[in-house]
Amino acid sequence: MTADSSPDAYSVDHFFSAPSARLDRWRDVHAAARAWVNREVERHAVEAALDEVGVIEEYYAFPGPELMAALREQLQDEDPTGFLSLSKRISLAIITGNYKHDPKEWETADDIFAKPADLLPPAIGAQPQTRPYFELLLVTPAPAPRWPHIIAEFRRLRRPEDAFVYEVVPVASLEDAICAIVLNPDIAAVALYEGFALKSRYDAPVLRRVIAAQKAALEKAGEADLALLLADRLKAIRPELDIYLLSDRRVERLAGDPRATIFRRVMYQIEEPLELHLSILEGIEARYETPFFDNLKHYAQRPISTFHALPIARGKSVFRSPWIRDMGQFYGINLFLAESSATTGGLDSLLEPTGNIKRAQEMAARAFGADRVFFVTNGTSTSNKMVLQALVAPGDIVILDRNCHKSHHYGLVLCGAQPLYVEAFPMPEFSMYGAVPLRTIKKALLDLKAEDRLDRVKMVDLTNCTFDGHIYNVRRVMEECLAIKPDLIFLWDEAWFGFARWSPFLRPRTAMGAAADIEAWMRSADALAKYERHRAEIGESPSRETLLDTHLVPDPRAIRLRVYQTNSTHKSMSAIRQGSMVLVKDVDFPTVEAQFHEAIFTHASTSPNQQIIASLDVARRQMELEGYGLVMNAMEVALDIRREVNAHPLIAKYFRIVGADGMIPEEYRTSGFIDFLAPGTRWDDQLRSMREDEFCLDPTRMTLVCGTAGFDGTSFKGLLASEYNIQVNKTSRNSVLLQSNINNTRSDVAQLISILLRICNSIETRLMQGGEGERQAFAARVHSLMKDVPDLPDFSRFHEAFRYDAGATTPEGDIRGAFFAAYAPEDCEYVRLDSPECDKRLREGPEMVSANFVIPYPPGFPIMVPGQVITQAAINFMRQLDVKEIHGYEKAKGLKLLRPDAIMSKNDARATSSARRRSQAA
Ligand SMILES: *Cc1c(COP(=O)(O)O)cnc(C)c1O
């Protein structure tokens, strides 16, 4: 096969963007064919281009062996026009996906052209009347010349009553199979016919690249059972796939092998092919099924009179009203038919599910790799509060990132656990924080241990990934923490990261992915030996420095693996706003189950929205059936944006998307990874970074620096929204955050780029026409935005009055006590930021103690929490802050403080009452 000699063949974007790489190859074929028509090149140039695409096409059902053969025939027949038109027809069909429902596309005669109107993808909202389409990967020892017959045989099995249609992709070897499922997102099921080969008959670079990533795992090939090995690899890459094994061995015995549970079914090879066909469809159906949504649709069709309180149900009050009819017209009748406050009629109860919600949650657990899933209809804000309340009690210590979402801080206020804030590494040039270094977390645990108070700490609570895209080395964090305290509970707030499960690159860095890996490690034969070697290395009583500096290994016999993940399904998947999930993988869940239900009862609405529940059910279905392709696409879009912005001669003059090197300090990137598209960076560098580095960057979250174009984040966000209909989310002083998700397309990229270009052009014009004065003003503005960036204030400390049962060296505090102390107005006072009083108090005391949370947006985390001593750094930051939205602060009144005398008397009272308790006890 041809060598792939282009220098960027190994670049990260090529690896992530299999679909567009494929289309690029077809474009090369067209270009060559056109040149051939014009007699500018010889046939062999076209042949070479076709060879390039040919290897890739082996892994897709369409165009398939027959159309490819037809193309080659036209080559042989020296028919340039015929070749050009057929190759164009094929690639158009690939782009539109039309072949998925139009049998004409598969025909080889070139007089068949689909009408142009048919080629348009269905409009949003239009309902294509076609059955969903997928592809079956067939790994077979049958010789390639037989493949067209095999394909035809499977087509003959189709029945009108089948709910789905599929085409077959035959491959001959383990290597090809891995390649196919990596490259082809339409593959939803795999049938392994025993006797297939290990090595591919090709040596194409695209194949070698994919296989190299599997190198470690494949080294065992030869000794292992090839089918089991392949199944294991396929599941590691795409756990949602159904795998069938067709064997000519004693299938009864094989089916009894515990390892065979990896197969959805083991069958005897010469059994009825119809049996396999039906099993495959049933496997897809098991993912397609959405128990709650299916029932809700059914419910909406039934004639039901309601005498409960929900006037809007059935929509009569809406559609009959001359005044609010437009609401009905806007939303459509089904919204109202599907509204109900009933938990009967098969609708089930979210608070105590026993029917289809329970099943929907179980299916979500399967899909997300959790033991249990709880649907939440009030956002991850509520999910976090539920988990905190369920697992920690007043007085317990929770180690958490001070920059985490406010739901965690408020959750601790509610449940009375004490936060031990740990600080993320700062990114002063953008006035934002990264993520919390593992060393900082270990230090907090070791400090507690040194004071013999390790039993007080119940949980480590971190955000993965952060708003700006920092991804933890989740497995390593958990392992090292468990080495210090083996029953520690982890709450990973993956509000933004739910989609990551469907990327084999990101999955190991999700809570559930890492938990699964740890679990597998604990069960592995060499876990104990590894632990014992580690113990021997660090010695009997290792010093604190040794513990901080060593990669700690937990005792596999002692670990209680207790992992919780919350995700805003609505933020990264197709769920309606506020749709959220709690994922649980906790070996001790039975001991907290009752508490967990109490927490649900505390926080969940008793009127959960049916539509949100249904959308959670549907979002799961989508991810299980097409999540892999959608996430790959989101990554591709992100890499496109990164490349286009940073490489464009004019745009790059004013804007830039920060690379991994700008987002993550070098010390946390020991792999040496610089950025996805940095010159010379190969996709395997990225893999290594994802595997090894303490932090890596989610490619779909892009920090776009706009300060260099003279915009602060907030006004740039405003400009994009008001002038260009582009919405972005978060801002910092000099940047905005762009995100790609499963909804984005390549035209979105084009749109964004053209708008940035327009903005750059207008800056250029302004600078040119405005003369020296304008240029100086611009430079000054840029300088101010990029250089005069306020230092972010780290968490100072809790006032001693709220640290009555805290450790001597550890910084936790009673946030709830401080929060409620502010409920007595006479105990509070206000000090204006700009007042001399403020400076005087900073200089001479008494210390100013915050009465509440103060949360500016941006950056969106609390600059002050209740009970916190306010320091010069916090005041400086507040004074420099030029944002409008600051929760918990009214400029006219000033900072709300707890009065010093009130704090003292509280302290005295507490001292007296504990003295009394002690004397009574004595
Ligand atoms: C958005 C967000 C939340 C809250 O989720 P909602 O679904 O909006 O309630 C919690 N944590 C983080 C990190 C978030 O970004």
Looking at residue 62, what DSSP letter applies?
A: S
Q: Is the peptide bond before 859 cis (omega within 30 degrees of 0)?
A: yes
Between the alpha carbon of residue 765 and those of residues 6, 752, 758, 780, the distances in Å are 38, 20, 11, 18
Q: 392: closest CA among 373, 422, 418? A: 418
Candidates 753, 703, 752, 710; CA nearest to 732 is 703
Pocket test for ligand 1, best of 407, 468, 701 (most atoms within 8 A of CB): 407
What kind and span of H or E run contains 373?
Answer: strand 372-376
496 CB within 6 A, ligand 1: yes
**Residue 798, phi then psi, degrees to nearest 5:** -80, 145
Please identify, by atom number, the ligand 1 atom nearest to the C-alpha of residue 578. 7
Residues of the chain with pLDDT under 50: 1-8, 110-122, 125-126
Residue located nearest, by CA, to atom 8 of ligand 1: 379
Ligand 1 centre to CA of 405 (Å) is 6
Cα 380 to ligand 1 centroid, rounded to whole Å: 5
Q: Which atom of ligand 1 is nearest to the CA of 579?
A: 7
Pocket test for ligand 1, best of 568, 578, 616, 855 (most atoms within 8 A of CB): 568
Neighbours of 60 (CB within 10 A): 19
Q: Which two tokens stand for residue 263?
A: 């197969």
Rounded to whole angstroms, the Cα distance separating 816 from 233 reads 49
Kindly state if the Cβ of 405 falls inside 6 Å of ligand 1: yes
Q: For ligand 1, is residue 380 a contact (CB within 6 Å)?
A: yes
**CA end-to-end distance (rounded Å), the chain:** 88
Q: Is the CB of 379 under 6 A from ligand 1?
A: yes
Distance CA 564, CA 398 (A): 14
Transcribe 334-351 into DSSP letters: HHHHT----STTTT--SS
Instruction: Dig out the tokens for 755 from the structure.
Output: 């708008």
Give Cα 434 to chain centroid, integer Å: 17
CA–CA distance from 507 to each of 444, 494, 522 (Å)?
Answer: 28, 12, 19
38, two tokens: 């014009």
Question: Which of 404, 405, 570 has most ligand 1 atoms within 8 Å of its beta carbon, as the pocket-test mutant?
Answer: 405
Query: Is the distance from the beta carbon of residue 568 to the nearest atom of ligand 1 less than 6 Å?
Result: yes
Query: Residue 221: which residues within 8 A CB-CB, separation 6 or more?
Result: 174, 198, 229
Give the distance (Å) from ligand 1 centre to CA of residue 623. Answer: 20
Q: What is the pLDDT of residue 9?
A: 52
Ligand 1 mean position to 736 CA, how many Å?
18
Query: Is the distance from CB of 12 to CB of 625 less than 8 angstroms?
Result: no
CA of 799 to the centre of ligand 1 (A): 29
From the CA of 698, how far away is ligand 1's center (Å)?
17
Residue 860: strand, helix, or coil: coil
Residue whose tokens read 């305290």: 485
Report how far apart, in Å, the C-alpha atoms of 604 and of each of 296, 348, 377, 416, 781 are.
Answer: 20, 15, 8, 19, 48
Give the Å distance between the CA of 353 and the centre of ligand 1: 25
- In one-letter notation, the amino acid at residue 48 is A
Tell me which amino acid residue 909 is.
A
Beta partners for 352?
none
| 493 C-beta closer than 6 A to ligand 1 | yes
Amino acid at 636: E
List CB contacts of 501: < 8 A, sequence separation 6 or more.
367, 368, 369, 507, 510, 512, 513, 623, 627
Q: How many Å lie between the centroid of ligand 1 and the Cα of residue 378?
A: 10
All structural domains of the chain: 1-130 (no CATH), 291-337 (no CATH), 350-787 (3.40.640.10), 800-921 (3.90.105.10)
Q: Ligand 1: which of 385, 493, 581, 605 to mutate, judged by most atoms within 8 Å of the beta carbon?
A: 493
Report whether 380 contacts 580 (CB < 8 A): yes
| Cβ neighbours of 287 (radius 10 Å) | 20
The predicted pLDDT at position 129 comes to 62
CB atoms within 10 A of CB 271: 11
Contact between residue 720 and residue 726 where contact means Cβ atoms under 8 Å apart: yes
CA of 714 to the centre of ligand 1 (A): 20
Rounded-to-integer distance, Cα 237 and Cα 506, Å: 11
Question: Could you tell me the distance, in angstroms and rounded to a whole number, from the CA of residue 115 to the centre of ligand 1?
Answer: 47
- Tracing tokens 């006797």 back to the chain, one arrives at 195
Q: What is the pLDDT of residue 919?
A: 65
Outline where 225-355 has alpha helix (H): 226-237, 251-256, 273-288, 291-301, 316-319, 325-331, 333-337
With a 6 Å cutoff on the Cβ, whether 411 touches ligand 1 is no
Partners of 493 in the β-ladder: 463, 566
From the CA of 376, how far away is ligand 1's center (Å)?
12
Nearest to 762 by CA among 824, 725, 719: 719
Angle at 417 between CA 411 and CA 422, to 5 degrees: 85
Tell me how many degrees the CA angle 107-109-115 measures, rounded to the nearest 5.
Answer: 70
Q: What is the pLDDT of residue 307?
A: 66
Please identify, by atom number, the ligand 1 atom nearest to the C-alpha of residue 496. 15
Distance 356 CA to ligand 1 centre (A): 27
What is the predicted pLDDT for the residue at 663? Answer: 96
Distance 383 CA to ligand 1 centre (A): 9
Copy the structure tokens of residue 311: 């006037």
Q: Specify the 3-state DSSP secondary structure of 139.
A: strand
Q: Report the distance separating Cα 204 and Cα 235, nearest Å.
A: 24
Question: Would you say 399 and 466 are in contact if contact means Cβ atoms under 8 Å apart?
Answer: no
Question: How far is the centre of ligand 1, averaged over its atoms, from the C-alpha of 583 (Å)?
Answer: 15
pTM: 0.93
What number of other Cβ atoms are within 10 A of residue 265's Cβ? 19
* Ligand 1 contact, 732 CB (< 6 A): no
Name residue, tokens 């009272």.
909
**Chain centroid to CA 856: how far?**
26
Verify whether ligand 1 is closer than 6 Å to residue 495 (CB atom): yes
Q: Ligand 1 center to residue 407 CA distance, Å?
A: 8
Q: What is the bridge-based pairing of β-strands 418-422 and 397-401? A: parallel
Q: Are the C-beta atoms of residues 453 and 810 closer than 8 Å to each other?
A: yes
**By alpha-carbon position, which residue is closest to atom 2 of ligand 1?**
495
Mutating to test ligand 1, I would choose from 465, 468, 571, 576 the residue with most ligand atoms within 8 A of its C-beta, which is 571
**DSSP assignment of 30-41:** HHHHHHHHTTSS
The contacts of residue 302 (CB under 8 Å, 6+ apart) are: 345
Q: Give the atom of ligand 1 at the shortest distance from the alpha carbon of 494.
A: 13
Per-residue confidence (pLDDT) for residue 16, from 0 to 100 = 65
Alpha-carbon distance 20 to 779, whole Å? 40
Which ligand 1 atom is nearest residue 577's CA?
7
Question: 3-state DSSP: the chain helix, strand, coil percent, rounded to 5?
Answer: 50, 15, 35
| The two three-digit tokens of residue 780, written as one number | 């000054």
Task: Tell which one of 378, 380, 582 to mutate to probe ligand 1, the residue whose CB is within 8 A of the most ligand atoms.
Answer: 380
Ligand 1 centre distance from Cα of residue 922 (Å): 49
